[in-house]
C-alpha cells in the first residue's frame, strides 16, 4: 500500500509543510510507502494558460500510479476547480480510498468543494474540534488531529533562563501581511505598555516581508523599541527556533469574532511553547484545548487582559520560566509528531481492509 499525497502548496507553506510533506516523512519512518505528488493545487491556480494545461496533464498522469489498495491523501486540496473535477471523477470511477485533511475552516470560503470532498472521503482529518463539528454533518468518520511539530530543533534552542538578560523581548512570528487584521489588539496593548515609564521592553516581529502596513502599525507606537525581521529560511528547521529563543514572551493576537476565527488554531503558539517561551494568545478557536491559563500560558479576550498578562510576565522572570517549561512539556506530550502521527497511522490502518 502507498499513500499518495496531493497538497495545497509546496513545502514553504506551513500548512502543507506540517500536514503534507512532514507527515509523509513521518509515515515513511514508520514503514509506510508515501509519495507527494506535484503539481500542487495552488500552483495549478497560479499558472496561466497554456502552461496550466501541462500541469493538468501531470495530475492526470499521476493518477495512473495509484494502485488498488493505495490511499489518496488530499491535504486542503480545494483551491483549484480543475483539480477538484479531476479528483471527484477519478475517485467516483476508481473507488480508491481517500483521506481528506484540512487544518483551517476552509468551508467558510470554499463550502461546496470542502463539503463534496468531506462526503466522498473514507475518513476526514481536521485540526480543531470546531472543524470536526462542521465535518460530521457530512461524514461520520471524522478525526481531530492537531497540527504537529518536531520538538527536537526547538528543544535544541530551549530558552536559557540562567543567562543574564537585558530588556525583555515580546515576539511574534509568522506571515505578517496575512495577519494585519489581527494586530490591532496587540498594537493597543503595546501602546499602553510603552507609555508606562516603569516598563521597558523590545518588540520583535518576524515575517514582515517588507510590508508597509505592518511596519507602520508598530513604528507608529511612541517609545516602543521595535525590530523587524522580514523573513526566515523556513525550510531550515532551525531558523525559527534560533529566533524564538531570543523571545521572553511569544504572542498570538487574533480577532475572536467570526466563523473563521472560531474554527482556527495556531502553529505559532506551539513553536513558542516548544522553545520553553511562555505564550500569551487571544482566546480564539482551539486555544482553550491547548492553553491552560496560568499553567502553560495565558489565553486572553480583551486589550485590558493583554496588558494585564503581558505586564505580569514582563515583571516576573520566574513565572515566565515556569509557564515556558510547562508549555514545552505540553508540546512534547500532546503536539509532537510522536504524539500526533500514531493517530494518522490509526486512520490509515482502519482503511486497509
| Nearest by Cα to 196 from 302, 307, 318 | 307
How confident is the model over 141-191, as pLDDT tens digits? 999 999 999 999 999 999 999 998 889 999 999 999 999 999 999 999 999
For residues 37 and 175, state if they share a domain. no
For residues 125 and 201, state if they share a domain. no
3-state helix, strand, coil in the chain (%, to 5): 50, 15, 35
How confident is the model over 254-301, as pLDDT tens digits? 988 888 988 999 999 999 999 999 999 999 999 999 999 999 999 999
Is residue 264 a contact partner of residue 316, using CB atoms and an 8 Å limit? no
Q: In the chain, which stretches have pLDDT less than 50?
A: none
What is the pLDDT, as a whole number, of residue 257? 81
For residues 214 and 344, state if they share a domain. no
| Nearest by Cα to 314 from 269, 249, 268 | 249
Q: Concatenated DSSP letters for 49-117?
A: TTHHHHHHHHHHHHHTTPPTT-EEEEES--S-HHHHHHHHHHHHHH--EEEEEESS-GGGT-HHHHHHH
What is the pLDDT, as a whole number, of residue 290? 97
For residues 230 and 111, state if they share a domain. no
For residues 157 and 212, state if they share a domain. yes
For residues 329 and 182, state if they share a domain. yes
For residues 185 and 56, state if they share a domain. no
DSSP state letter for 48? P
Q: How many domains does the chain have?
A: 2
What is the pLDDT, as a whole number, of residue 71? 98
pLDDT averaged over the chain?
96
Residue 87 belongs to domain spanning: 2-148+336-350
For residues 136 and 29, state if they share a domain. yes
For residues 127 and 187, state if they share a domain. no
Residue 70 maps to which CATH number? 3.40.50.2000
Q: Which residues, including other chains, have CB under 8 Å from residue 326's CB and lie 6 or more apart? A: 295, 296
Amino acid at each position: 500500500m502507498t499513500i499518495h499525497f496531493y497538497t495545497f502548496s509546496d513545502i514553504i507553506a506551513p500548512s502543507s509543510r506540517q500536514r503534507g510533506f512532514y507527515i509523509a516523512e513521518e509515515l515513511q519512518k514508520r514503514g509506510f510507502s508515501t509519495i507527494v505528488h506535484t503539481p500542487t493545487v495552488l500552483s495549478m491556480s497560479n499558472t496561466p494558460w497554456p502552461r496550466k494545461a501541462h500541469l493538468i496533464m501531470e495530475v492526470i498522469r499521476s493518477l495512473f500510479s495509484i494502485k488498488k489498495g493505495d490511499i489518496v491523501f488530499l491535504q486542503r486540496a480545494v483551491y483549484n476547480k480543475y483539480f477538484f473535477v479531476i479528483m471527484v471523477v477519478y475517485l467516483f470511477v476508481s473507488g480508491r480510498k481517500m483521506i481528506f485533511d484540512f487544518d483551517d475552516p476552509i468551508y467558510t470560503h470554499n463550502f461546496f468543494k470542502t463539503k463534496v470532498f468531506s462526503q466522498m472521503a473514507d475518513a476526514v482529518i481536521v485540526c480543531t474540534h470546531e472543524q470536526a463539528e462542521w465535518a460530521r454533518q457530512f461524514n461520520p468518520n471524522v478525526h481531530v488531529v492537531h497540527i504537529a511539530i518536531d520538538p527536537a530543533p526547538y528543544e535544541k534552542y530551549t530558552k536559557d533562563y540562567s543567562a543574564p538578560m537585558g530588556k525583555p523581548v515580546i515576539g511574534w512570528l509568522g506571515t505578517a501581511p496575512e495577519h494585519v487584521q489581527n494586530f490591532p489588539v496587540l498594537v493597543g496593548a503595546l501602546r499602553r505598555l510603552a507609555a508606562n515609564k516603569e516598563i521597558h521592553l523590545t518588540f520583535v516581529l518576524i515575517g514582515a516581508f517588507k510590508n508597509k502596513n505592518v511596519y507602520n502599525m508598530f513604528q507608529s507606537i511612541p517609545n516602543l523599541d521595535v525590530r523587524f525581521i522580514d523573513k526566515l529560511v523556513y525550510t531550515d528547521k532551525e531558523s525559527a527556533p534560533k529566533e524564538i529563543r531570543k523571545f521572553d514572551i511569544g504572542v498570538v493576537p487574533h480577532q475572536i469574532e467570526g466563523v473563521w476565527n472560531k474554527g482556527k488554531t495556531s502553529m505559532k503558539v506551539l513553536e513558542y511553547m516548544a522553545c520553553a517561551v511562555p505564550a500569551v494568545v487571544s482566546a480564539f478557536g482551539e486555544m482553550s484545548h491547548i492553553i491552560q491559563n496560568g499553567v502553560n500560558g495565558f489565553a486572553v479576550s480583551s486589550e485590558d487582559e493583554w496588558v494585564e498578562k503581558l505586564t505580569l510576565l514582563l515583571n516576573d522572570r520566574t513565572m515566565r520560566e515556569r509557564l515556558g517549561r510547562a508549555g514545552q512539556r505540553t508540546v512534547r506530550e500532546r503536539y509532537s509528531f510522536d504524539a500526533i502521527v500514531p493517530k494518522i497511522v490509526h486512520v490509515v490502518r482502519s482503511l486497509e481492509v
